[in-house]
Amino acid sequence: MLDRCQNIDVDAACAQLRKLLADTRGLGRRDFIKALGQALAGSAILSLLPRLTADAEAAEQPVTAFVFGGVWKKSAMAAFGEPFTKRTGIPVVYQDPYTFAKLRAMHEAKAMQVDVVSVQGGEMFQAKRMNMLTPLDFSVIDRSVLAELLGREELRDLIDQAALADLELELQLLTPERKVRDPDGLHDALRLLGDLTVQEAAARSADPAAAPGWLAELEASRRAVRLRVGGQERWVAIEDMARLRDGLGAAPPVGVPQAFLEPVADPVGDLVARYARTHGPFLADDPARRLGLGVAVVSQTLARLEAAGIDAVGNKPPGLRQLFVTDPNGVRVEVNIPD
């Protein structure tokens, strides 16, 4: 069928829209709108949607928040919802009471009905593992304000230290469900975490007594090698050999294939960024000590990564020390903590 007024093949346009809807099923609102814009950019199909622009101009679609009921809901409305609507003009509607079971059911059915939810405690880690969370879009967030807020003492006091400890254990593969169970898993751990001592490898193994044998097997198959890093003998994945040689000056053992000795673009940046991704809050001298680097080198590297959009670094008023905190994208936010 051809719409002669618009000179558009309506059947083809509808087929394209059906494919788009199928391809984007299960996406959140933000990702769906982005995909829709990319698919229809410059397309005559937009003329088939005459109300799209008018509706968008008439009223902003509300944001749906899934919250606990009662006093918690009233507090959330006063602290977040009402100020947000006043500033943006976007209304907030609420679903309550919150339950993780309902949130999980919506996710598994790919029928998410909410935009914002307060997930706490162990549920936060479950939601992360199940890919239920959408990372914050830092292209629309003022990172300097975020760093300033996180650095305020009264807000720092709200950070659950137990949750941070749990986060560190999970990131470091030290929780029972994340421990490795065979040589392949240990090789993956070396690639994810970086260099490990025998004791550290054993601590991340479901069968600690088997870890030395697994390491020997990886060495025999040229998937891991022994190096001195930070003044200790550690095991590293063969894929990291060039990175450690160029970034830390580690001498490759005899027999490493040339394919794993090709120079890498930013060895120190890679090592520091990996430390950041696999740890909770840390001071700049923590990765420096672990990697055998100077604190100044680590600080400069973090600043350089921030300038490239990988890090978010706040101002450093006099008399404050630095703490680096993870945001949901693995970005490190430098926070100013009073001594």
- The answer to whether residues 182 and 152 belong to one domain is no
- The answer to whether residues 13 and 53 belong to one domain is yes
For residue 263, tell me if it sits in a domain.
no
Of the three residues 107, 134, 161, the one that is the final residue of a domain is 134
For residue 319, tell me if it sits in a domain.
yes
Of the three residues 257, 292, 313, the one that is the final residue of a domain is 257
Count of domains observed in the chain: 4
User: CB–CB of 225/236 below 8 Å?
Assistant: yes
- The answer to whether residues 123 and 242 belong to one domain is no
- The answer to whether residues 151 and 119 belong to one domain is no
* Residue 143 pLDDT grade (very low, low, confident, very high; cuts 50, 70, 90): low
CATH assignment at residue 222: 1.10.10
- The answer to whether residues 129 and 158 belong to one domain is no
- The answer to whether residues 294 and 154 belong to one domain is yes
For residue 179, tell me if it sits in a domain.
yes
Alpha carbon separation from 293 to 128, 248, 265, 288 (Å, rounded): 32, 7, 18, 5
The model carries a pTM of: 0.56
Share of the chain above pLDDT 90, in %: 35
Residue 305 clears pLDDT 50, i.e. is over it: yes
Q: Which pLDDT does position 53 carry in this prediction? A: 46
Domain that holds residue 35: 2-58
Q: Which pLDDT does position 313 carry in this prediction? A: 36
* Residue 87 pLDDT grade (very low, low, confident, very high; cuts 50, 70, 90): confident
* Cα–Cα distance for residue pair 114/310, rounded to 1 Å: 29
- What's the mean pLDDT in 93-115? 88
For residue 24, tell me if it sits in a domain.
yes
- The answer to whether residues 73 and 99 belong to one domain is yes
User: CB–CB of 323/329 below 8 Å?
Assistant: no
* Cα–Cα distance for residue pair 298/284, rounded to 1 Å: 6
- Greatest distance between any 2 Cα atoms in the chain: 77
Query: Which of 108 and 337 is assigned the larger pLDDT?
Result: 108
- The answer to whether residues 113 and 235 belong to one domain is no
For residue 273, tell me if it sits in a domain.
no
Residue 33 clears pLDDT 90, i.e. is over it: no
CATH assignment at residue 115: 3.40.190.10
For residue 272, tell me if it sits in a domain.
no
* Cα–Cα distance for residue pair 132/118, rounded to 1 Å: 12
- The answer to whether residues 151 and 283 belong to one domain is yes
For residue 301, tell me if it sits in a domain.
yes
Q: Which pLDDT does position 110 carry in this prediction? A: 84
Alpha helix (H) residue ranges in the chain: 10-23, 29-40, 50-58, 70-76, 82-88, 100-108, 122-129, 143-151, 153-156, 161-171, 183-193, 198-203, 211-220, 241-248, 267-277, 285-291, 295-307
Q: Which pLDDT does position 226 carry in this prediction? A: 95
- Residue-wise pLDDT for 197-256, tens only, equals 999 999 999 999 999 999 999 999 999 999 999 889 999 999 999 999 999 999 999 989
Of the three residues 195, 225, 257, the one that is the final residue of a domain is 257
- The answer to whether residues 76 and 102 belong to one domain is yes
Residue 46 clears pLDDT 60, i.e. is over it: no
Q: Which pLDDT does position 75 carry in this prediction? A: 85
For residue 244, tell me if it sits in a domain.
yes
- The answer to whether residues 293 and 157 belong to one domain is yes
- The answer to whether residues 78 and 26 belong to one domain is no
Comparing CA positions, the residue from 34, 73, 38 lying closest to residue 16 is: 38
* Residue 146 pLDDT grade (very low, low, confident, very high; cuts 50, 70, 90): low
Residue 123 clears pLDDT 60, i.e. is over it: yes
Residue 158 clears pLDDT 70, i.e. is over it: no
Q: Which pLDDT does position 64 carry in this prediction? A: 92
Q: Which pLDDT does position 31 carry in this prediction? A: 67
- Mean confidence (pLDDT) of the chain: 77
- Residue-wise pLDDT for 243-293, tens only, equals 999 999 999 999 899 999 999 999 999 999 899 888 877 788 899 999 999
The enclosing H or E element of 228 equals strand 224-229
Alpha carbon separation from 61 to 1, 29, 40, 213, 296 (Å, rounded): 33, 11, 20, 58, 48
